Amino acid sequence: MITRTQARVAERARRASRRQWGADGIVAAVWFAAAVGVALNVAAGGLLVSRGTDVVREVGRLVGIVTAVLMMSQVLLASRAPWIDRVIGHDRALARHAALGKYAILLMFVHVALIVTATSRELSQGLVQAFFGLSSGNLWLAAVEIAAGLFVLVLATSLFGAFRAWHYETWHTIHRVVYVAIAIAVPHQFLDGQTFRRGGVAWLFWFAFYAVAFGSFVAFRMVRPLVLTANHRARVASVTTGADGSTTVVIGGRGLGGLGAKPGQFLLWRFYTPKLFWQKHPYSLSSAPHGDHVRITVKPSGHGSRAVAHVRPGTAVTFEGPLGIFTHDARTRSGLVLIAAGIGITPIRALLEHVLPGEPCVVVVRVRSLDEAPLLDEVRALARDRSADLRVLVGPRGDTWGTPDEPAAIASLVRDPSDVDVFVCGPLAWARQVEADALASGVAPGAIHRERFGW
């Protein structure tokens, strides 16, 4: 006889397996698309060369095909498409986006270098003359040269660390130039490239890939926020400042209860005040949604988060999301360990609200002092109502992820670490330490959940 708990755990395991297949499938699809692009090139006569310069040009074209696939995959992963977010989560999608970007930019410069070298040798010109000569009378190749310049701009600001002196939104605006560069560079592949401009299957392949990647980007990063704004008409309902200095903002709007936001998820918020209207920040829900209201809690740590304390009730708000898979849906085991530090308590507190009565649950809150602990009273009340085991570790950082007086280890918190899911939210270095301890204690890698709030 299968108990309700066993059935619940089995269903969690099935969901986790499907997500892993989906995550692996997304990565495999990128390289499969690259292989298809190369195969179509070869089928159309690529690599059939008769002169030494042709070898260089054909290799350059193959590199360009792989580059185009990686670039459009980048756009798709950063599009905030719900089907991608549900499979791998917003943070992991952006991590893969960043990893592909490194290869894409490197291969783009290799592609340009090979094509320019072949042209230089063929026309007996210098490399600079050959580079600018490519675009003579050709709009699409001129777009490629402009795109290359934009890539150099973004790469230079990254390498020389200029963004460290800017507001993040300023750097992010510069980073958006990459999408413009990709949008104007890739079309030459199927609109002017000798291999694909004749039409047929190859042309349709590139056009469909381009349409899906940039269609998703436009739909989910540009159109969807406008639709959400029009439908929900969200406004700040209340703003309160806690004794610890954190600010809790309740946001109301028409039909927000139907948004589908889950405890543990975050949204990208834009408050329409003189200081904040140009910024968009990821803030987690600090409680489960109730009716047509949602709540966030923000700790002052930067220009944007400090300004949130001065937002007034009635202020218009726009948002994107909900995003992330840091939810109960990600669970794979019967037990639960929730670990938070600092303002990382916000999604942990929301997750605790949806713990079932009697469900094995340990909550660990790591704070430097009780005076700086946001939402601690609420966490204590929720833990008491759900019979959860609450540990509050107070003090400076120690040799473990706990404190010098109270060293912390997953193995000391639960009887069987292999039968628990561990949710961790807090400063990056500290969260990595918790994750390392969880793995060493015997927690399954797929049962360790961290949300990296990049956007």
Average confidence (pLDDT) per 10 residues, the chain, 455 residues = 60 67 80 86 67 72 86 88 84 82 83 81 72 62 68 63 54 68 69 60 83 90 88 90 87 84 90 86 86 87 79 91 87 90 90 87 90 88 91 86 87 90 90 92 89 57
**Domains, the chain, ordered by start:** 4-223 (1.20.120), 233-323 (2.40.30.10), 328-450 (3.40.50.80)
321 — alpha (psi -120 to 50), left (phi > 0) or beta? left
Do the beta carbons of residue 284 and residue 296 sit within 8 Å?
A: yes
- How far is 75 from 331, CA to CA, in rounded Å? 29
The token duo for 101 is 């970007």
Give the pLDDT score at 1: 47
- How far is 91 from 281, CA to CA, in rounded Å? 14
The token duo for 173 is 């605006």
- How far is 354 from 356, CA to CA, in rounded Å? 6
Going through 176-310 in order, the beta strands assigned E by DSSP cover 235-241, 247-252, 266-271, 281-284, 293-298
Give the pLDDT score at 135: 59
Question: Which helix (H) or strand (E) covers residue 171, if one does?
Answer: helix 168-175
- How far is 56 from 59, CA to CA, in rounded Å? 5
Phi and psi torsions of 238, nearest 5° = -160, 155
Q: How many CB atoms lie within 10 A of CB 325?
A: 20
Give the pLDDT score at 332: 84
Task: Write the CB contacts of 364 (distance below 8 Å, at least 6 apart in sequence).
Answer: 337, 338, 339, 340, 390, 391, 392, 393, 408, 413
Give the pLDDT score at 13: 65
Long-range contacts of 11-16 (CB under 8 A, 24+ apart): 12/331, 12/332, 12/333, 13/332, 15/329, 15/332, 16/330, 16/332, 16/446
Give the pLDDT score at 296: 92
The token duo for 394 is 């107070």
**Distances from the Cα of 105 to the Cα of 2, 71, 92, angstroms:** 53, 8, 20
Do the beta carbons of residue 229 and residue 282 sit within 8 Å?
A: no
Q: Find, among 448, 243, 244, the residue nearest to 342 by Cα.
A: 244
pTM: 0.79
Residue 311 is given by DSSP the state P
Task: Write the CB contacts of 352 (distance below 8 Å, at least 6 apart in sequence).
Answer: 338, 361, 363, 379, 382, 383, 386, 388
Q: Residue 271: beta bridge partners?
A: 317
Place of tokens 């794979």: 332
* Local structure of 148: helix, strand or coil: helix
Q: Find, among 376, 374, 380, 427, the residue nearest to 247 by Cα.
A: 374
Give the pLDDT score at 272: 92
How would you class 181 by CB atoms within 10 Å of its CB: exposed for 0-12, middle for 13-18, buried for 19 or more?
A: buried
Q: Residue 392: beta bridge partners?
A: 365
